[in-house]
Amino acid sequence: MDISREEQRVLHVLAQGGVLEPRKDGRGRIERITCINRDGFLLPIVDMALFRKLKRRRTVASQGGGPYRITRRGLELVRSEFDNR
């Protein structure tokens, strides 16, 4: 299955230890999503449409009301990238 460039970037950040933090409204629905990498920096390309695509493809999941993390399926879909750390 092919995934878009933005999905690939987000999954790569999540594979390295990043999380997707949901912001909920008064009714408990997710109104905004924030992607935080392992160093604590924000990734600005994540919006609700991209989050819904990742969730629909079951590449991210939340356990116990915590932040969304990458799943095994997400790890299978992400292609390796060179990291200049």
Whichever domain contains 33, its CATH number is 1.10.10
Burial class (CB in 10 A: 0-12, 13-18, 19+), 82: exposed
Domain boundaries, position 46: 5-77
- pLDDT value of position 83: 66
Whether 82 maps to a domain, the answer reads: no
Which whole number is the average pLDDT over 65-82? 89
pTM: 0.87
Neighbours of 67 (CB within 10 A): 17
Mean pLDDT computed over 45-61: 95
pLDDT level of residue 25 (50, 70, 90 thresholds) = very high
Token representation of residue 74? 């997400």
Residue 79, pLDDT score: 80
The answer to whether 63 and 39 have CB atoms below 8 angstroms apart is no
Q: How far apart are CA 50 and CA 57, in angstroms?
A: 11
62 part of a folded domain: yes
**What is the mean predicted confidence (pLDDT) over 11-22?**
95
